[in-house]
Amino acid sequence: MLLILNIIIMLLLLTVLFQMQKKHITFSKRVFTGLGLGVLLGIFLQIAYGSDSNVVSSTTDWYSLVGSGYIRLLMMIVIPLVMVSIIKAITNLEKTSQLGKMSGWIIGILIGTSMIAAVIGVGTSVAFDLNADQIEAGQSEEDRGMYLEDRLGDVQNMSTPERILAFIPTNPFQDMTGDRATSTIAVVIFSAFIGIAVLGLRRKRPEQAEMFTKMIDAVYGVVMRIVTLILRLTPYGILGLMANTVARTDVGGIIELSKFVAASYVALLIMFVIHLLLISFSGLNPLTYLKKVLPVLGFAFTSRSSAGTIPLNIQTQKNNLGVPDGVADMSASFGATIGQNGCAGVYPAMLAVMIAPTVGINPLEPSFLLMLVLIIGISSFGVAGVGGGATFAALIVLSAMDLPVYLAGLLISIEPLIDMGRTALNVNGAMTSGTITSRVLGTHNKDRFNDPSANQIDMSEVS
């Protein structure tokens, strides 16, 4: 009976969001209403039953049909969207040299901001005096530590050149299934080759190139329609995701490790401010930027999936921020795997500074800090754009610094809460790189950026 009651409550809240849509209330307001209702529902489940109760476990399984189901729909369209978008963007270029400049600036900004994020992570850890010795290890922490040590073997068996080499697809059809952590980048590379080939074909056999381009345009139109249909469900998905997250949160663990939670979010917020400063330096109003990207950041925060946010990321950059198609497609795709500021920048740096004193290393030694920042910059390639990417990044950095990786398991109780902020920062880094790149290349539509009526999704499609 309690389970049925909880399901009925969810259905009533979903009905509220549906009625808001019928009344043509703006998409952004519906997104944040879903976020707020999800938090309240999660708090109710916590207070009424407790996070570890069987009722909450059964309830969140049903709520996952809404939250996790929405994530699966987004993941379903990621590869087709990235592929046709990249091909279409390249075929619209006049010269292939433009592709090199565009990708170079995007990757450079992503890696550069990740190294800045590492410095911020170090500074915050020192300011809050974080030390792994301050945390008591229980059974769950020990189990997590053993899991990390088991995974370490897989990481150590691959050098940095090998991880970069993994970007190049040997079987693009396998990567279209999302089989590998680097599948998204592999599809980008394969699609880029197709686009470049079409540019070459246009000079020799224009009729064939034109036929292929029309076919891609048609497929692109269908894919974008699917994206629009899925993005209509964003407020509902956020409601389910947030309810589950709050209901399952280990409040006791968060209170016990509140200093580590506070330090993490201070570092993430400082990096957000740096992103806004970069936007300002590029000649744009950072407050206008922030207002337009908040719904995307809200979804990234609740979903904890950089890859799952790609469709919303692309739509926001193109329709809301004035970023051209090619730059938006590439920055969103690269940003889900390369140079993630939160998962591959802030987090590994904080862990390294926390763990170093336990093995007699002074984390403030210039040689240690320089090596840490360089390793984070290099290892920021290939971090998987799904939940768990930060763990992979931490394994790479800690093993390269000869630090014990099992101690990273001490933060398992607060990992989901920290990961929410890290993912939002990752996605914002991708949008920042796209916006700045378009400004540098002179392709940015500033009028659209400044247009208050421009929304990340065409409201005629979702209202």
| pLDDT one-digit tens code per residue, 152-204 | 555 556 666 776 777 788 888 888 887 776 777 788 889 889 988 988 888 88
With a CB cutoff of 8 Å and minimum separation 6, the contacts of 54 are none
Q: Model confidence at 358, in pLDDT bands (50, 70, 90)?
A: confident
Lowest-confidence pick of 68-72, 229-233, 390-394: 390-394
Residue 166 CA to residue 179 CA, distance in Å, equals 12
DSSP state of 407: G
Flag whether pLDDT at 76 surpasses 90: no
Give the torsion sign (CA, 107, 108, 113, 115).
positive
Lowest-confidence pick of 6-15, 147-156, 445-454: 147-156
Residue 439 CA to residue 322 CA, distance in Å, equals 10
Provide the pLDDT for residue 136.
Answer: 63
What would be the CATH architecture of the domain defined by 2-462?
Orthogonal Bundle (1.10)
Mean pLDDT of 377-402: 70
Provide the pLDDT for residue 269.
Answer: 96
Q: Which of 402, 437, 392 is CA-nearest to residue 282?
A: 437
Q: What is the DSSP string of 395-432?
A: HHHHHHTT--GGGGGGGGGGHHHHHHHHHHHHHHHHHH
Q: List, for residues 19-34, the tens digit of each pLDDT value.
A: 998 888 888 788 889 9
Flag whether pLDDT at 460 surpasses 50: no
Max avg pLDDT among 103-112, 161-170, 255-264: 103-112
In the numeric block, which tokens belong to residue 351? Answer: 């862990």
Lowest-confidence pick of 182-186, 318-322, 375-379: 182-186
Residue 58 CA to residue 38 CA, distance in Å, equals 17
Provide the pLDDT for residue 109.
Answer: 94
pTM surpassing 0.95? no
Max avg pLDDT among 41-55, 179-193, 248-262: 41-55
Provide the pLDDT for residue 286.
Answer: 95
Provide the pLDDT for residue 150.
Answer: 63
Flag whether pLDDT at 462 surpasses 50: no
Lowest-confidence pick of 37-51, 137-151, 227-241, 397-411: 137-151
Tell me the residue type at 100.
G
Contact criterion met (CB below 8 Å) for 109 and 433: yes
In the numeric block, which tokens belong to residue 433? Answer: 């790189």
pLDDT above 90 covers what percent of the chain?
Answer: 30
Average pLDDT, the chain: 84
Burial class (CB in 10 A: 0-12, 13-18, 19+), 139: exposed
Flag whether pLDDT at 461 surpasses 50: no
CA angle 350, 356, 358 (to 5 degrees): 120
Residue 45 CA to residue 6 CA, distance in Å, equals 8
Provide the pLDDT for residue 385.
Answer: 46
Residue 8 CA to residue 433 CA, distance in Å, equals 43
Contact criterion met (CB below 8 Å) for 258 and 123: no
Provide the pLDDT for residue 463.
Answer: 41
Mean pLDDT of 402-413: 74
Report the Cα 167 to chain-centroid distance in Å. Answer: 18
Provide the pLDDT for residue 459.
Answer: 40
Give, in order, the Cα–Cα distances in Å from 169 to each of 46, 165, 177, 179: 45, 9, 12, 11
CA atoms within 13 A on the CB side of 338: 27
Residue 118 CA to residue 122 CA, distance in Å, equals 6
Flag whether pLDDT at 431 surpasses 50: yes
Flag whether pLDDT at 122 surpasses 90: yes
Burial class (CB in 10 A: 0-12, 13-18, 19+), 21: middle
Flag whether pLDDT at 210 surpasses 50: yes
Residue 227 CA to residue 230 CA, distance in Å, equals 5
Max avg pLDDT among 15-19, 90-94, 228-232: 15-19
Q: Model confidence at 142, in pLDDT bands (50, 70, 90)?
A: low
Provide the pLDDT for residue 389.
Answer: 62
Q: Which long-range contacts (CB under 8 A, 24 or more apart) does 393-396 make?
A: 393/340, 393/343, 393/344, 393/347, 393/348, 394/148, 394/347, 394/348, 394/351, 395/148, 395/151, 395/152, 395/155, 396/155, 396/348
Contact criterion met (CB below 8 Å) for 85 and 325: yes
H, E, C per residue of 104-137: HHHHHHHHHHHHHHHHHHHHHHHHCCCCHHHCCC
Mean pLDDT of 56-68: 90
Flag whether pLDDT at 221 surpasses 50: yes
